[in-house]
């Protein structure tokens, strides 16, 4: 199996890195018992954004098969504008690892804040749900 390794840039904690995949507003219905945004909601938003990114690379449906190294750095509050950015870390024959960063813009702030990041692994699948080679730019990745 031939892997294409691409190193995601180290986060500077000062500005988002990678492709903007999704942007959404944190709402009151998304809070936990403490009144902060529920970590599962944020993880879900990151997975949606990463899935959009992975499907674009694979030119097919993709499924999430692993989440590694999730780091919840800061809380997300109601009213925060959440943006998810993606970088390709590794690409194999049927799978890829994507580094995702979630950033927020708080109501009265001018600069975005890195709140969460992690590595998500996606697999390219066919219409029957079976793994298939990634068809990047119209060419199948070599085996």
What whole-number distance in Å separates Cα of residue 106 and Cα of residue 79? 7
Predicted pLDDT at 8: 46
Q: Say if 87 falls within a structural domain.
A: yes
Task: State both tokens at 91.
Answer: 């690409």
What does the pLDDT look like over 52-109, one tens digit per residue? Answer: 999 999 999 999 999 998 999 999 999 999 999 999 999 999 999 999 999 999 988 8
- What was the pLDDT predicted at 56? 96
Residues 22, 84 contacting (CB under 8 angstroms): yes
CB 83 within 8 A of CB 20: yes
- Token duo for residue 89: 């870390």
Three-state secondary structure call for residue 69: strand
Q: Is there a domain that residue 20 lies in? A: yes
Looking at the structure of the chain, the number of domains it has is: 1
Q: Pick the residue with more confidence: 102 or 142?
A: 102
User: Mean pLDDT for the chain?
Assistant: 89
Whether the predicted pLDDT of 121 surpasses 80: yes
Alpha helical stretches, state H, 4-80:
39-58
Structure tokens at 34: 């403490």
Q: What is the pLDDT of residue 54?
A: 98
Q: How far is CA 113 from CA 27, 76, 96, in A?
A: 18, 10, 26
143 pLDDT band, cuts 50/70/90, is: very low
How many Cβ atoms from other residues are within 10 Å of residue 140's Cβ?
A: 11
Contact 142, 2 (CB under 8 A): yes
pLDDT number for residue 115: 97
Domain extent, residue 62, equals: 4-135
Look at residue 143 and tell me if it is in a domain.
no
User: What was the pLDDT predicted at 3?
Assistant: 53
**Does residue 41 have a pLDDT over 60?**
yes
Q: What's the CATH number where 108 sits? A: 3.10.129.10
* DSSP summary character for residue 115: E
pLDDT given for residue 138 in this prediction: 54
Whole-structure pTM value = 0.85
């Amino acid at each position: 199996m031939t892997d294409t390794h691409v190193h995601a840039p180290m986060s500077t904690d000062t500005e988002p890195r990678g492709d903007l995949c999704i942007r959404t507003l944190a709402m009151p219905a998304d809070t936990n018992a403490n009144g902060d945004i529920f970590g599962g909601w944020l993880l879900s938003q990151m997975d949606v954004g990463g899935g959009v990114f992975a499907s674009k690379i694979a030119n097919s449906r993709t499924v999430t098969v692993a989440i590694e190294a999730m780091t919840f750095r800061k809380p997300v509050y109601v009213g925060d504008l959440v943006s998810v950015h993606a970088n390709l870390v590794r690409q194999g024959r049927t799978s890829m690892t994507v580094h995702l960063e979630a950033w927020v813009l708080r109501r009265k702030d001018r600069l975005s804040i890195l709140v969460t990041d992690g590595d998500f692994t996606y697999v390219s699948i066919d219409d029957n749900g079976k793994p298939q080679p990634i068809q990047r730019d119209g060419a199948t990745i070599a085996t």
